[in-house]
Amino acid sequence: MQEEKQSNSLTRQILQSISDASLVPFLAIVTAVVLGGIIIAFVGGNPLLAYRGLIEGSFGSTKALSETAVWATPYIFAGLAVALAFKGGLFNIGAEGQLAVGAVFSALIGYALPEWLGFSLPTIIHLPLAIIVGMLMGGLWAGVVGWLKAYTGGHEVINTIMMNYIALNTTSFLLNGVMKDRSPTNVIARTPLIEESSRIPAIFDGLRVHWGFVLALLVAFFIWWLLNKTTLGFEIRTVGLNPDAAQYAGINVKRTIIITMILSGMLAGMAGTIEVTGLNYRHELGFSQGYGFDAIAIALLGKSHPLGIVLASFLFAAMRNGATRMQFLTQMPVDLISMIQALILLFVAADAIVRYIYRIKSKGERVVLTRGWGG
Amino acid sequence: MSESKVVLEAKGITKQFPGVLASDNVNFDLRKGEIHALLGENGAGKSTLMNLIYGLHLPDKGEIFVNGKQIDIHSPNDSIAAGIGMVHQHFMLIPVFTVAENVMLGDETTKNGSLDRNTVAAKITEISKQYGLDVDPNALVGPLPVGIQQRVEIVKTLYRNAEIVILDEPTAVLTPQEAEDLFRIMRDLTARGVSIIFITHKLKEVLAVADRITVMRAGRVINTVKPSETDSAQLANMMVGRQVILTVDKKDHEASGDVLNVENLIVRDQRNLETVHNVSFTVRGGEVLGIAGVQGNGQTELSEALTGLRHPTSGKVTIDGIDLTGKPPRTITEAGLAHIPEDRQRHGLVLSYTIADNMVLCDYYHAPFSSRGVLQPKALDENSRKLIKAFDVRTPSPFVNAGKLSGGNQQKVIVARELSRNNVKLVVANQPTRGLDVGSIEYIHSEIIKMRDRGVAVLLISAELDEIMALSDRIAVMYRGQIVAVVETKKTTREQLGLWMAGAHVETA
Amino acid sequence: MDLKRFGFIALIIIVLFSVVVMVGQTKQTPLLIVTSMLATTIAVATPLTLGALSGVFCERSGVVNIGIEGMMLTSAFFGWLGGIYMFHIFKLPPSVSIVLGVFFAILTGALMALLHAMLSITFKVDQIIGGTVINILAIGLTGFLNRQLFFGATSVFKGSVPSSPGVLPTIHIPITEIFSSACGSSAVCLENIQAINRVFDQKPIALSAIILVFLSHYILFNTRWGLRTRAVGEHPKAADTVGINVSFMRYANVLIGGMFAGLAGAYFTIESVPSFEPLLTNGRGFISLAAMIFGNWTPIGAWAASLVFGASQALLINMQIFRDVIPPQWSFLQESYIVGLTPYILTMFILTGIIGKTTSPAADGVPYEK
């Protein structure tokens, strides 16, 4: 009897905490949508029509759903990257750069490896290789910053942003130079198409959604398991919550910081890799612009919880996907979506504002990342 | 001598913080030229009351009268204008500013828009001479010794012509001799007409220096008495609400072989200054070695070096013969260390973790708590239930966040975790009862003695001399980073220890 | 600022200048090259200096501000837009429109800063997240409005971007006029004096930036305002106990910081090039933060660090000018992408603290709870 009562109240506790956790993000979205509607009306559009277009374009047909899933895939990976770093007490603003190098180098493996070896490879080797290389490059890109933070105290906010610009310059250099698609009709900075053997197959005929989407969901589950059920996850979280206590607890804080950044970079690298191997079959300069900041918004909206991130990724994917239909119906530019997303982020980050508007009491701790610049 | 003129009166002061009624209809008055002590254990509401009078918080109800006139105090500006000055327990000084800059902050003298440092320095020198509070206006505050910093705080209040001075736990950071100095300054001030409120939890001081004593408990005033009308036992009873045993029950115990051996240890602090100079001592199994000394004499760095939180520059640390110099915390823990850290919220606990998680903070990585990198929730659960019961941690469930516990229960979680480990050979307890209520203090003291009776070596570091004398078999005094004396507790006195703590060299017979 | 740091700054600047001189000496005299580099350095360092000053005021009072980039971007946009509206819609003369544009930019900076202040101080949001929100908001807002206001259905400009009223003029400091008599009839001497004059002929915002550096230094270290600001950033509780209003000091300093960022924004679209492009700030806001950190949160230190970054940018510009005379073994200098890496790698190197440890204000980034 006692056991039953306890498990009932435990279930209730879990449900309560889920509703607590999602109340503010939900209200934040509602508020942003309403504000967005006001802005649309202000610049002369029809808010209801615009939102109808948005919903139709993102969920209104099988094709729409497939496209939304396609958009969600890199968001899930990038969102997980930022969230994992958050859990470790680190702010990875470098998802953009890590994604780009992941994409570029997996594309390289995709189109150049058979050439170098002189023979073609079976998919079962070529594809995983391309993905792993992309992952590792992303991990390296972030790992550098992690090492600098651990051993020199250099703050990861500025260093990851610098690495973003370095990635931008490096990929521009490569894509305009040695990695450029040399086919006669091509003028833009992009790689050649990758070999068939390094492509992720689509799930259904005729739709673009590919198995990378399924992989994204599996990886989300894996990250949840890693963070909450393993000793490594315990170490990452402890360093994130209280590095002094972590040191006292015997955790090697420097090593944990580096591992956290590497894992985070690997996830961001995967975002780029999967886009290349599953969707575009090449890397084009500038295709991934903006993913980095979106990933931050998704991580915050999803409260750094893998399930929240999957949901938030779908929301952002739906917005991006539906925007084209919205533009078709109302002539509202797609930039409006960026505005609404920025507003959502504003309200989620400043959840105190939402709480104030809707008179919700605060529960639980605040995310504290700013401990000054260290050093 | 106290005259009957009332300079400060608080009537019906009530203040509610979330979950805690910090002040419950408090009435308090201060007469001109008196030293009025406000006595109570940690958490009784003394500081809160003074913060309300000083204007750092606003009371929910109640009125404040200065010299018979009711005044509204909304911020420190109002209380300062009314002639009230406060010296806080944790100094309100900015380390990177000079003494003059700290003193003039908020009341700056300017000449043509620029800060007029010279005029301020002159005034400070004048106050220094007048009251015997020697300070150098142009010195940076950060490197100044704690006793001098306290003087700067007092000068700050006099600079603003304070006639009512509140001192919050001023002796917490002073040696017994420096405390005597402070009392002399206090009597000096009252002779000139300044009235003083003196907050403390130390019974002996209160009986020595106060004209009147007001005892507070759980936010209420229990009674106001004169020292001549009462004694320690009665005061302790009023403070806690029950009979308090003022001494620890400790039987003689035969110590066994050396457990902790420290040889020629040199340690540097964050600023790369040598704070532990060539320290050597041993702690034997079954004994408590107490390190006495005012905070800031190297104890923090010493305990950090012993527990792996800081690399010593040179020297040797061994436990049971195993060399652990400069080894990481986990290695030392596995060699038999139990560490009760100085700052429980910073080092000892992760406040957002549950009690269960905190119970395995240092041990999560091995069986039975994890297997091949995967945590075993059942084992964690069982462990925490067992320990909560054994160490009397007051909590509705093991899944409560540690941050929600009281200070005493938080410390019990740490004590439970550390002392229940299987192979404990050495306990390093650094300020283990700081900020705790009397009940928790008694509990932790008894646990420490239990470990000692079991043959474990205990190194106790504490700024509370009474605690050191009550628990230790032998006492080492630390002053400016050196061990200046090692004696058996039975063979020394408080006065002797006080002299050592102040740096005087006492010839032992 | 200690000797080691100044030494490092001087060294880097000398190295950068030397590279340009060595490459370009076949085309121009070294004096010409050095003065031209110096003039460019001072000009392009302007937004970095102002951004760093913005950071100094915010952080000295205890508020971390990584939203400087976003503040610059929005200010650049609204300053430019304001000038256009004044010129085309209100038909004001170009010079008035331009100056009003600068005011709009400063005002925008202050408003964005107000948002950041509210988030950080009143709502106690994590300050790095708050700053990121400002940056994202800036990108979204400027991108959206840039398209809507000119190409949207209700646009008054009917689908084309109107011409800007212009840029701020260069202010001529009459060095040549004063010293030319000392040259007699030597044409080379005259040329040299004119070259040196070019270093001092700067535009208003660039000159203001330098003046503001010294003004800020004075305010921060010699006035009541500065003392209180620093107190609030080091130990807000101590300041509170002597009656200083911590919230007010922080709000005020963040707003001041916002105005500096606003002026920096004005530089981009009103002093440098009279047009707006999405993301035109290109990381300069973040590099300003590195300059602030390297300058140890002092105005003069931050200025010196900004000059280093300015110099690396001047290097890039001059490598394009001297493109055709770059010796073959140094052909990598032709690649703007590679040379363009300099400021970023420099920043990361500086942040390792090898050149010297820096100390941020003790309460930087910590929301004040009573």
C231 interaction partners in chain B (CB closer than 8 Å): 94, 97, 105
* Chain C CB within 8 Å of residue B196 CB: no
Shortest CA gap C52–chain B (Å) = 22
Copy the structure tokens of residue B361. 């903070």
How does the average pLDDT of chain A come out, rounded?
A: 85
Confirm if B363 and A250 have CB atoms less than 8 A apart: no
Q: Regarding predicted confidence, which is higher, A347 or C251?
A: C251
Distance from C-alpha of A342 to C-alpha of A301, rounded to nearest angstrom: 11
**Residue among A149, A165, A171 with most chain C CBs within 10 A, to mutate:** A165
DSSP code of residue A275: I
| CA-based torsion, B245, B246, B249, B251: positive or negative | negative
Please check whether residue C180 lies inside any domain of the structure: no
Least confident residue range of A140-144, A202-206, B334-338, C99-103: A202-206
What integer pLDDT is reported at residue A330 of this predicted model?
A: 76
Residue percentage of chain A with pLDDT more than 90: 41
What integer pLDDT is reported at residue C21 of this predicted model?
A: 86
Output b/e per residue, B65-97; b: 16+ Cβ within 10 A: bbeeeeeebebbbbbbebbbbbbbeebbbbbbb
A208 pLDDT tier (thresholds 50, 70, 90)? confident
- CATH assignment of the domain containing C208: 1.10.3470
Shortest CA gap A230–chain B (Å) = 4
Inter-chain contact B77–C243, Cβ cutoff 8 Å?
yes
Residue percentage of chain C with pLDDT more than 70: 98
Confirm if B392 and B400 have CB atoms less than 8 A apart: no
Residue with tokens 């600068």: C102
**In chain C, how many domains are there?**
1
Q: Residue A248: which of B329, B352, B364 has the nearest Cβ?
A: B329
Residue with tokens 């701020």: C168
Domain ranges of chain B: 6-240, 258-348+423-501
Beta-ladder partners of C171: C202
Distance from C-alpha of B470 to C-alpha of B245, rounded to nearest angstrom: 12
What integer pLDDT is reported at residue A1 of this predicted model?
A: 46
What integer pLDDT is reported at residue B180 of this predicted model?
A: 87
Beta-ladder partners of B190: none
C50 pLDDT tier (thresholds 50, 70, 90)? very high
DSSP code of residue B36: E
Confirm if A262 and A146 have CB atoms less than 8 A apart: yes
What integer pLDDT is reported at residue C152 of this predicted model?
A: 66
Shortest CA gap A372–chain C (Å) = 5
Inter-chain contact A242–B333, Cβ cutoff 8 Å?
no
Nearest to C116 by CA among C161, C151, C164, C68: C68
Residue spans of chain B under pLDDT 50: 1-2, 508-509
Distance from C-alpha of A48 to C-alpha of A50, rounded to nearest angstrom: 5
The domain made up of B6-240 has a fold known as Rossmann fold (3.40.50)
Please check whether residue C174 lies inside any domain of the structure: no
Please check whether residue C304 lies inside any domain of the structure: yes
Predicted confidence (pLDDT) per residue in C168-198, tens digit: 888 888 877 877 777 777 778 888 888 888 8
A372 pLDDT tier (thresholds 50, 70, 90)? low
Confirm if B36 and B196 have CB atoms less than 8 A apart: yes
Helical (H) or strand (E) element with B215: strand B212-217
Distance from C-alpha of A126 to C-alpha of A147, rounded to nearest angstrom: 31
In total, the C-beta contacts within 8 angstroms joining chain A to chain B are: 64
Please check whether residue C335 lies inside any domain of the structure: yes
Predicted confidence (pLDDT) per residue in B362-373, tens digit: 999 988 999 989
A7 pLDDT tier (thresholds 50, 70, 90)? low
pTM: 0.87
pLDDT at A3 over 90: no
* Chain A CB within 8 Å of residue C344 CB: yes
What integer pLDDT is reported at residue C301 of this predicted model?
A: 92
Taken as a whole, chain B contains a residue count of 509
Q: Give the highest mean pLDDT range of A161-170, C132-141, C342-351.
A: A161-170
A320 to each of A61, A203, A291, C90, how far by Cα in Å?
Answer: 16, 22, 11, 38
DSSP string for residues in B58-95: --SEEEEEETTEEE--SSHHHHHHTTEEEE-SS----T
What integer pLDDT is reported at residue A365 of this predicted model?
A: 45
Predicted confidence (pLDDT) per residue in A26-75, tens digit: 888 888 888 888 877 877 778 888 888 888 888 888 888 888 999 999 99
Domain B258-348+423-501 homologous superfamily, CATH: P-loop containing nucleotide triphosphate hydrolases (3.40.50.300)
Copy the structure tokens of residue B475. 């006492």
Distance from C-alpha of C131 to C-alpha of C55, rounded to nearest angstrom: 12
Taken as a whole, chain A contains a residue count of 375
Shortest CA gap B86–chain C (Å) = 9
C345 interaction partners in chain A (CB closer than 8 Å): 162, 166
What integer pLDDT is reported at residue A359 of this predicted model?
A: 67
Asked if domains B6-240 and B258-348+423-501 share a fold, the reply is yes
Inter-chain contact B362–A234, Cβ cutoff 8 Å?
no
Please check whether residue C70 lies inside any domain of the structure: yes
What integer pLDDT is reported at residue B509 of this predicted model?
A: 38
Q: Residue B362: which of A232, A249, A252 has the nearest Cβ?
A: A249
* Long-range contact pairs involving C320-324 (C-beta distance under 8 Å, separation at least 24): C321/C24, C322/C20, C322/C23, C322/C24, C322/C27
Inter-chain contact C351–A368, Cβ cutoff 8 Å?
no
Inter-chain contact C360–A165, Cβ cutoff 8 Å?
no
Least confident residue range of A136-140, A293-297, B156-160, C57-61: A293-297
Distance from C-alpha of B260 to C-alpha of B461, rounded to nearest angstrom: 15
Q: Residue C351: which of A158, A173, A336 has the nearest Cβ?
A: A158
* Chain B CB within 8 Å of residue C284 CB: no
Please check whether residue C368 lies inside any domain of the structure: no
What integer pLDDT is reported at residue A87 of this predicted model?
A: 95
Inter-chain contact B76–C242, Cβ cutoff 8 Å?
yes
What integer pLDDT is reported at residue C246 of this predicted model?
A: 95
* Rounded (10°) angle between helices C246-266 and C224-234: 110
Please check whether residue C172 lies inside any domain of the structure: no
What integer pLDDT is reported at residue A106 of this predicted model?
A: 94
Please check whether residue C37 lies inside any domain of the structure: yes
Shortest CA gap B77–chain C (Å) = 5
Q: Which domain holds residue C267?
A: 3-158+203-351
C370 pLDDT tier (thresholds 50, 70, 90)? confident
Please identify among residues 436-475 of chain B the ones whose CB lies closer than 8 Å to any CB of chain C. none
What integer pLDDT is reported at residue A375 of this predicted model?
A: 36
Predicted confidence (pLDDT) per residue in B133-165, tens digit: 889 999 999 888 888 899 999 999 999 999 999
Distance from C-alpha of B131 to C-alpha of A304, rounded to nearest angstrom: 59
Nearest to B419 by CA among B385, B384, B451, B455: B451
